[in-house]
Chain A
Amino acid sequence: MDTIYIVGLVVVLALFFDFTNGFHDTANAMATPIATGAMKPRTAVAVASVMNLAGAFLSTAVATMISVGMVNDATTLKPEIVFAGLTGAILWNLTTWFLGLPSSSSHALFGGLIGAVAAAAGFGAINLDSILQKIIYPALFAPVIAGLAAWLATRLAYAITARSTDDDLATGRNRFRYGQIFSSSLVALSHGTNDAQKTMGVITLVLVAGGLQKDGSHVELWVVLAAALVIALGTFSGGWRIIKTMGKGLAEVKPAQGLAAEVATAATILASSKLGFALSTTQVASGSIIGSGLGRSGGKVRWNKAGQVVLGWVFTLPAAAIVGAISTALVLAGPAGLIIDAVVTVGVIIAIFQISRRNAVTHHSVSSEIEEASEVVESAKQRKAAAKAAAKSGKAKK
């Protein structure tokens, strides 16, 4: 098949991936300000989408990390391999989304690409050092860093606004809601600096592989524009999900705590984007929400819930790598294999879209990972309520 068609197909699929990423992650940035009433849902969604657009233009460090850093020599790569990796990532992502399993779209993308390249050209073709330094180690440390920053920031905010002993005035902590308008916008901006870049990186990678660009050290302007616009569009379309789930899981997150968590998330992602760390923004935001929950007095970790969240993170990359490797085997078998891979991917996309439209929207398919993560921490109030309920049912039995 003509190289140009495959390159075109990859560009379209990569932009589709970009769209779903924005769609999926709107809630990460905007669920808290909507839940606390700081912003109207419509305004929040519009702001998030504009901030994503702006963020995509700030830096291309993460994009070049993918186009240069992941593969030892991208010019020897066939565009079919990038296609196989991308379809593997999309298949894994949609299936886990449909089944309600925790996953990270960023790690699905890296896993799919790594698996595809390894299956086609062996492990020697992969730049292991760069992948460890820019993807794996940051994946381990960034959520912890964000959690620590959020924990410290929450303690600081509560200490400064604590009631002094001689007055009975309100602490004014509700005023943090207004700060959240800015902090959540900042999260949306940082999302653009990291997640939109991943799409740019994949498109640049396939342009190099297809011989349409000399090397991956820079990103073409049209690629930046396309990725930025599509992620903004996806973010905007994702708005309806927030309106359905708002306040369900995040009711426990108080404004001061939410602000601290969002500032920590944004700071961690922005600093990482600067160094070209390709992160899962969802994992960083989850680390922050857990850290800030523990920063409030009496917060306790629900370890089984924490285990579930982390397990989903660990599995995504290797699982997507296997799917990526399988689709590579298919694609390398000949043009028929490539067509089968394309048909399966498009078929799954359409089928899941149809099913999710027909079925009533269930909580698991619309709730964000951040809400899941917020359930990891049990607040003092929740514990009291649980103890009360237990005592009541105990009495009732007697």
Chain B
Amino acid sequence: MFTPINWTNLFSVAGAAIVGSLAVVLLFSVGVRLLVNADHAKAKASKGDVKALRAEAANRAGSYALFALSFGAVIYGILLIIPNVIPSVK
């Protein structure tokens, strides 16, 4: 009477959910980490460390790039579920 579970569907939901969440959270967390590094460098720079000034800029730029990527990953995920936007996924 009970039909067997369609594991393919459930695994694809599980896979998409886990990979998707980890990707977004990874990008965002590393962004946060770089932002903290930037603050750290800024504190050093204010003490007259010239090298730290460059490190601050690099870290800050990196963190913004990662936030943007994280946002991009979310948008890509949304586009995946709309029919016919990305043809390879049915």
Q: Which residues of A contact B (CB under 8 A)?
A: 58-59, 61, 128-129, 132-133, 137-138, 141-142, 145-146, 148-150, 152-153, 156-157, 160-161, 167, 169-173, 175-176, 179, 182, 186, 189, 193, 256, 259-260, 263-264, 267-268, 270-275, 277
Contacts and interface: CB of A to CB of B under 8 A. Distances in A.
A149 B22 contact: yes
Nearest to B34: A172
Contacts of B16: 267, 271
B78 A189 contact: yes
Interface string B41-73: 000000000000000000000000001001100
A92 B22 CA distance: 38
A272 B78 CA distance: 12
B25 A263 contact: yes
A145 B18 contact: yes
Given A267-B16, A267-B17, A58 B78 contact: yes
A114 B37 CA distance: 57
B74 A156 contact: no
Interface of B: 1-3, 5-6, 9-10, 12-14, 16-18, 20-22, 24-26, 28-30, 32-33, 35-36, 39-40, 67, 70-71, 74, 77-78, 80-83
B9 A167 contact: no
B36 to A, nearest CB: 4
Nearest to A169: B40
B2 A132 contact: yes
A161 B26 CA distance: 10
Contacts of B40: 167, 169
Given A156-B29, A169-B39, A256-B29, 12 more contacts: A61-B83, A133-B6, A141-B10, A141-B13, A157-B28, A161-B29, A171-B36, A172-B36, A175-B32, A259-B28, A260-B21, A263-B25
A149 B2 contact: no
B25 A141 contact: no
B36 A272 contact: no
19 contacts: A59-B83, A61-B83, A133-B5, A133-B9, A141-B10, A141-B14, A145-B10, A145-B13, A160-B26, A161-B29, A169-B40, A189-B78, A193-B81, A260-B21, A267-B21, A271-B81, A272-B13, A274-B81, A275-B13
